[in-house]
Amino acid sequence: MKRLRTFQNWTRLCLALAGVSFSVISAAGQGVGLPESLPSEIGRKLSDRLPEKPSLPPAFSVPVGPLGYSAPGLFYLGRHNRLASLDFIGEDRLLFTFQVPGLMQREDDDRRQGDDERQIRAVVVTLPDGKVQSEALWTLHDRARYLWMLKDGHFLLRDEDGIQEGDATFQLKPYLKFPGRLLWLELDPAQQLMKINVLVPPARTGDAKSDSPAAARVGLPEAGKKPDPTPDPNSSPPKLKPDLIVRTLNPGSGEVLNETRMGLAVPQPTSSDGYVAVEEGMFSGLLERAQMPINSEGNIESLGEKTNNWPLDFVSFGGKDNFLGRVNSACRPSSEFISEREFLMTACDLFGGSDVVAMSSAGERIWGIRLSNHEIWPQLVPSLDGLRMVRETVFIEHPVGEHPRLVDPKNLKGQIVRIFDAAKGKMALETTASPILDGGGNVAISPSGRRVAILNNGEIQIFELPAPAAFRGHKP
């Protein structure tokens, strides 16, 4: 049986997460006010229209119908579910995984109530002939991203409380296991470190507090600081509160570089461990401060409340704080590393539009663009060498500022895919992807950055691009 929630309903549910005091971001999700110190050539505006055709034709295509793929229904729009994953294995093979059509099954009563079990089909296809080299079927238990490609052709597969490592033959072996449900992971650009979010079982009254300074830094409540409710004999037992652990670790050595423990309240009995409420908060962006981007040395933070002028800091894992400057933004600016030394910062203007600035980890502004205010829900996919990246957004019929909080799926007109060089922000390709997959996973870029694969109109289109420009001081 499916969970029939609308996007608006589960957004309201997320607002009840205890202690999450930052304001709701508009439907644009993210955006940037360009700093005055940027060079004059930075700040060019992208078009307010969907591209009618690709800026360059695909070199060849692979039909996806024979692989077993069919487009998902409109039911999923606005939910940000990860319904597919497309990745290069080297330059001449693709790993394509996707949710198999059919009803998602409930878990048994003795498991986590409210979970969704789903089937994911995985295939490795060779290019350009599209022949299936290997295939597998996986059973997973949530809706978020489940696969991360590694530089050596292996991949990480996330499900419930653990990670498995796999290869092109789909041989899986245990990689890491955690003391609760693993919500999310991200790797630094060098793939030496891992940042994870783990939802641990509800804490009991009187459990030891977490004195982690990181909990105070992100502005969320420390575990243990919760009221002790007085039981009412005529009411149901009080709900226990799960803890969300945010940890940065070296998966090779097991060393933990940083850890934050956050106490969260479960507003409704959506699942026994509070998972559904936290998952929806993660999808809607209400837990974005638990997703600070990392490289091999530290993470980027933008702290502050109720301000349009945000300090931007790079904080090393040793605790050293390097001030990078201030950003003018109507929402909390977001950042994501595309290489060891370069990250993209996104912030909002006052009218629902977004700006993107590429910066070095030392605070140097490299290039920037002004996005259309018809674009929402950005996804970023960098090449493994960090010289090129894909940025895709969903195009909405009306300007975002006119209806900042509600998004009607009927107003979503398409998904735009753009490929940029990291050195100067030059656009190498602009096209569309169909169907709209607002959870991402429909675009891949090869390790060299010279091939791009896009799931579009019943086929995977492969584009051949010139070599990306290198730039001074580049370090993947």
> Which sequence spans correspond to the domains of the chain?
26-223+240-464
The span from the CA of 253 to the CA of 397, in Å, is 49
Q: What is the pLDDT of residue 100?
A: 92
Amino acid in the structure at residue 241? K
Q: What is the pLDDT of residue 372?
A: 83
Q: pLDDT tens-digit profile of 87-137? A: 999 999 999 999 997 654 444 433 444 457 899 999 999 999 999 999 999
Least confident of 2-11, 203-212, 230-239: 2-11
The span from the CA of 397 to the CA of 409, in Å, is 10
Q: What is the pLDDT of residue 131?
A: 96
Q: Is the pTM of this model over 0.85?
A: no
Q: What is the pLDDT of residue 222?
A: 33
Strands (E), 100-160: 105-106, 116-126, 132-140, 147-149, 155-159
Q: pLDDT tens-digit profile of 33-46? A: 444 444 434 456 78
Residue 352 has pLDDT above 70, yes or no: no
Buried b (16+ CB within 10 A) or exposed e, 61-87: bbebeebebebbeeebbbbbbbbbbbb
Phi, then psi, of 417 in degrees rounded to 5: -115, 125
Place 162 in a pLDDT band, splitting at 50, 70 and 90. very high
The helix or strand, by DSSP H or E, that contains position 41, with its residue range, turns out to be none
Q: How far, in whole angstroms, is CA 286 from its chain's centroid?
A: 13
Place 150 in a pLDDT band, splitting at 50, 70 and 90. very high
CATH architecture of 26-223+240-464: 7 Propeller (2.130)
Q: What is the pLDDT of residue 189?
A: 94
CA torsion, points 180, 182, 186, 192, in degrees to nearest 10? Answer: 50
3 state DSSP class of 201:
strand
What is the residue-averaged pLDDT of the chain?
Answer: 77
3 state DSSP class of 9:
helix
Phi, then psi, of 475 in degrees rounded to 5: -140, 115
Buried b (16+ CB within 10 A) or exposed e, 174-200: ebbebebbbbbbbbbbbbebbbbbbbb
Q: What is the pLDDT of residue 272?
A: 54
Instruction: List the one residue out of 396, 404, 360, 390 whose CA is nearest residue 375.
Output: 396
Q: What is the pLDDT of residue 41?
A: 40
Least confident of 41-50, 294-303, 423-432, 455-464: 41-50
Q: pLDDT tens-digit profile of 107-116? A: 443 344 445 7
Q: 449 Cβ partners below 8 Å, 6+ apart?
A: 383, 385, 387, 388, 465, 467, 468
Task: List % helix, strand, coil for the chain (3-state, nearest 5).
Answer: 10, 40, 50
